[in-house]
Chain A
Amino acid sequence: MSTTYPNGFPYVRTFFAWAIALLLFFPLLWLGLTAFKTEMQAIAVPPQLFFTPTLSSFVEVQQRSDYLLYAKNSLITSLVSTILGLMIAAPAAYSMAFFRTKRTRDILMWMLSTKMMPAVGALVPVYVMAQTTGLLDSLPALIIVFTLSNLPIMVWMLYSAFKEVPNDILEAVRLDGATVWDEFRHVILPLTMGGIASTGLLCLVLAWNEAFWSLNLTSANAGTLAALIASYSSPEGLFWAKLSAASLLAIAPIIVFGWFSQKQLVQGLTFGAVK
């Protein structure tokens, strides 16, 4: 397969694009390499690029902390909060996009403004509430918090996807006597699938990576991978191979997922900014 380049072969572009991409990716590559080193190799001077890989750090990470439990918690909280969020956000975005009033924009901005308040401000109240309801260190508590903190972004993204649907199509469907559900199911859903998918993908990533609430609301039972990694912070800060192995285990699933869904994600990431 050969690609033709409109302005001749782009030597300069190719060089710089690759150089910058490798530079930005380097920290992750280094993390990946260090995960397969021994602790001595990890802090060797000069740093070692070629070495005999070992899996000992991974074994130790699994022994010290039950990786699979944390991974399961991350998976459940991010999946459930994303689905729940879509179910709450989609009707709202639909209503805002197709029954627009003078206040629509105000409501949207109000929603987004709730996200600007530092979560730490709500920490004590939320902690107290979780404690009194017995939800502290439980998956439902995290799911509720993740859903609510992603909701404004979801409404915004879905709203901008929905309002791309031409009004005359909807008029025609409505004249045919379709119910709101029919209209949503058979017209809007197929037309905005790209936007819905990328909304879901983005929120999945955000929930997977959420650190503040998982650090502060969970301990041994409902901890997510983001919280697990923080536990490698100070006392074992210098055990780089183990730190890298644990980190790699925490980010690999979402990065690989991100690579595969990249095209899908990009399509809907317009936030209404592209006409």
Chain B
Amino acid sequence: MTRLLPRALMAPAVTTLFLWMIVPLAMTIWFSLVHYNLMQPGEKTFVGLENFHYFITDPDFWPAVLQTLELLGAVIVITVVLGVGLALLVNEPFPGQGIVRVLLISPFFVMPTVNALLWKHMMMNPIYGVLAHVWHFFGATPVDWMTDLPLASVILMLSWQWLPFACLIFITSLQSLDREQMEAARMDGANALHQFWYLTLPHLGRSIAVVVMIEMIFLMSVFAEIFTTTGGGPGNESTNLAFLIFKQALMNFDVGVASAGALFAVVLANIAAVFLIRMVGKNLD
């Protein structure tokens, strides 16, 4: 066995991913330093850090950063807390367990565009939507979700989609929970809360870390759900960083500013990555 073999086996994955990262990155760095507007063809003049200055002083910038984090935090908390609860609920046998699990995981297989349109129109429409009927039933005034609670609406859609995923991972993890240990704890008079707190939760710790990590990866750059529902609005109320960059590039046609924004997002992603390595990296050995 040569020392070369392990590297040769890694090479295809590492090389392709490296190219996938470095080529767009190099181009983005170049674009971010020039004046490049799709509507103004001609010379790309070097403008230094002007694009960065423009992107960061954009009044939409800080709201977008905050909303990116709010969205990320809210969906992670909702899916982890409810996911653990649900996993515990369906882990013990009961009639129809198989069907219940199939129903529970279904939203995970729904594509983001369908998810978004389904919720925007058929669920959240303030006149004909199902939620409006429910509100009427209880004598309340229906909520105009997309106008009054845009970010919460997006959070609701994303949570609906990711809850089944979290739940699946927790179910998988619960299956390896030591039943004898639980039994012993019960014999010793530990109540359900104690069992949960001292046995189940520590056992789930690693899978919670994994769920947080995977959701972070996917939710940092949520796009389709915002694009097909609120369009980032009203105003900038449901704009996240990914959508703000998109707006600069394809609505304002300003590739230079969009590229500066993309680099900012890269930095943010790397900060998150370092944070994640600290938090869950040790679980990967």
A205, B262: Cβ atoms closer than 8 Å: no
Q: What distance in Å separates the Cβ of B18 from its nearest Cβ neighbour in chain A?
A: 9
B110, A91: Cβ atoms closer than 8 Å: no
B176 sits at the interface (CB 8 A):
yes
A28 sits at the interface (CB 8 A):
yes
Partner of B111, one of A128, A226, A273: A226
A123 CA / B242 CA spacing, docked (Å): 11
B181 sits at the interface (CB 8 A):
no
A116 CA / B9 CA spacing, docked (Å): 24
**Contact mask B90-124 → A, CB, 8 Å, 1/0?**
10111111011111111111111110011111110
Q: What distance in Å separates the Cβ of B134 from its nearest Cβ neighbour in chain A?
A: 10
Q: What distance in Å separates the Cβ of B159 from its nearest Cβ neighbour in chain A?
A: 10
Closest-by-CB residue of B relative to A266 is B172
Q: What distance in Å separates the Cβ of B260 from its nearest Cβ neighbour in chain A?
A: 10
A96 CA / B9 CA spacing, docked (Å): 9
B-chain residues with CB within 8 Å of residue A255 when the two chains form the complex: 106, 109-110
B216, A47: Cβ atoms closer than 8 Å: no
A139 sits at the interface (CB 8 A):
no
A242 CA / B7 CA spacing, docked (Å): 52
B252 sits at the interface (CB 8 A):
no
B6 sits at the interface (CB 8 A):
yes
A180 CA / B283 CA spacing, docked (Å): 28
B-chain residues with CB within 8 Å of residue A209 when the two chains form the complex: 109-112
B17, A211: Cβ atoms closer than 8 Å: no
A34 CA / B16 CA spacing, docked (Å): 44
Q: What distance in Å separates the Cβ of A192 from its nearest Cβ neighbour in chain B?
A: 16
A-chain residues with CB within 8 Å of residue B119 when the two chains form the complex: 27
Q: With A24-B104, A24-B160, A118-B221 given, is the CB distance from A226 to B13 under 8 Å? A: no
Q: With A21-B100, A274-B172 given, is the CB distance from A129 to B9 under 8 Å? A: no
B-chain residues with CB within 8 Å of residue A112 when the two chains form the complex: 213, 217, 273, 276
B109, A118: Cβ atoms closer than 8 Å: no
A235 CA / B213 CA spacing, docked (Å): 37
B17, A237: Cβ atoms closer than 8 Å: no
A-chain residues with CB within 8 Å of residue B285 when the two chains form the complex: 105
A6 CA / B92 CA spacing, docked (Å): 9
A148, B113: Cβ atoms closer than 8 Å: no
A-chain residues with CB within 8 Å of residue B92 when the two chains form the complex: 6-7, 10, 13
A62 sits at the interface (CB 8 A):
no
Closest-by-CB residue of B relative to A244 is B122
B-chain residues with CB within 8 Å of residue A153 when the two chains form the complex: 214, 217
**Contact mask A162-178 → B, CB, 8 Å, 1/0?**
00000000000010000
B27, A125: Cβ atoms closer than 8 Å: yes
A43 sits at the interface (CB 8 A):
yes
B241 sits at the interface (CB 8 A):
yes
A-chain residues with CB within 8 Å of residue B93 when the two chains form the complex: 3, 5-6, 10
B217, A230: Cβ atoms closer than 8 Å: no
Interface size for chain B: under 10, 10 to 19, 20 to 34, or 35 or more residues? 35 or more
Closest-by-CB residue of B relative to A93 is B13
B-chain residues with CB within 8 Å of residue A230 when the two chains form the complex: 113, 224, 227-228
**Contact mask A25-42 → B, CB, 8 Å, 1/0?**
111101100100000000
**Contact mask A131-155 → B, CB, 8 Å, 1/0?**
0000000000000000010011101
A270, B173: Cβ atoms closer than 8 Å: yes
A271, B210: Cβ atoms closer than 8 Å: yes
Closest-by-CB residue of A relative to B218 is A115
A-chain residues with CB within 8 Å of residue B265 when the two chains form the complex: 117-118, 120-121
Which of B1, B164, B277 has the most chain A CB atoms inside 10 A of its CB? B277
A27, B160: Cβ atoms closer than 8 Å: yes
Partner of A120, one of B94, B160, B221: B221
Closest-by-CB residue of B relative to A209 is B111
A247, B118: Cβ atoms closer than 8 Å: yes
Partner of B117, one of A13, A98, A229, A262: A229
A sample of 26 cross-chain residue pairs with beta-carbon separation below 8 angstroms, ordered by A number, consists of A17-B97, A30-B130, A45-B128, A111-B17, A113-B270, A116-B269, A116-B273, A117-B21, A117-B269, A118-B245, A119-B221, A121-B245, A121-B259, A124-B28, A125-B31, A159-B284, A233-B117, A237-B121, A240-B122, A247-B118, A258-B106, A271-B169, A273-B173, A273-B207, A273-B209, A273-B283
Taking A174-B1, A269-B169 as given, write out 16 further A-B residue pairs in contact, using a Cβ cutoff of 8 Å, ordered by the A residue number: A14-B95, A17-B94, A24-B107, A25-B107, A45-B133, A88-B12, A91-B12, A116-B272, A124-B28, A124-B249, A151-B13, A153-B214, A160-B284, A229-B113, A254-B111, A273-B209
Interchain residue pairs A-B with the least CB separation, the first 8: A121-B262, A118-B221, A92-B13, A99-B6, A209-B111, A113-B273, A122-B24, A125-B24
